[in-house]
Amino acid sequence: MKLSFLIITVSVITVFGFSCGHSNQKAMPLSLDNGSKWTANTETTTGINSMIRLLDEFAGTDDMQAYKILMTNLSEQYQLIFKKCTMKGEAHNQLHNYLLPMKDLFNGLESNDLKVRKENLKKLKAYLLSYPDYFQ
């Protein structure tokens, strides 16, 4: 399980670093565009919506294997967002500020503690649902 997390993490970092040119960027606090939402590219919004759908379809379960499959599917969508990144300027920076904190929530889905997994699942869903607060 640790190996799968390592592979996913390395893949995300690689995709992130090469597709957007920010290999060591740290997330900063999110902000709006002078009180307005940032315009996101269609692929980003589609990826976020796909992750929300995956969480909606995930049957609350105690099956650790089901969480592993969910994590794989979420990671694929996350990586696609970075791969299809076409945003520029401050909107691009704010998108990265939004996306980077999700890595910690993904880590919680890999926990050996089912309670931690379930808590991170709730946190991740709430976080994804905040996307329209910042992006259109």
pLDDT digits (tens, 9 = 90+) for 88-104: 999 999 999 999 999 99
Q: What is the pTM of this model?
A: 0.81
Residue 11 sits at the vertex; the CA angle it makes with 8 and 13, to the nearest 5 degrees, is 110
pLDDT digits (tens, 9 = 90+) for 8-25: 544 444 444 445 654 456
May I ask the CATH class of domain 39-134? mainly alpha
User: What residue segments make up the domains of the chain, in order of their start?
Assistant: 39-134
79, 68, 73: which is closest to 56 by C-alpha? 73
Distance CA 71, CA 29 (A): 25
Query: Residue ranges of the chain with pLDDT lower than 70?
Result: 1-25
Neighbours of 51 (CB within 10 A): 23
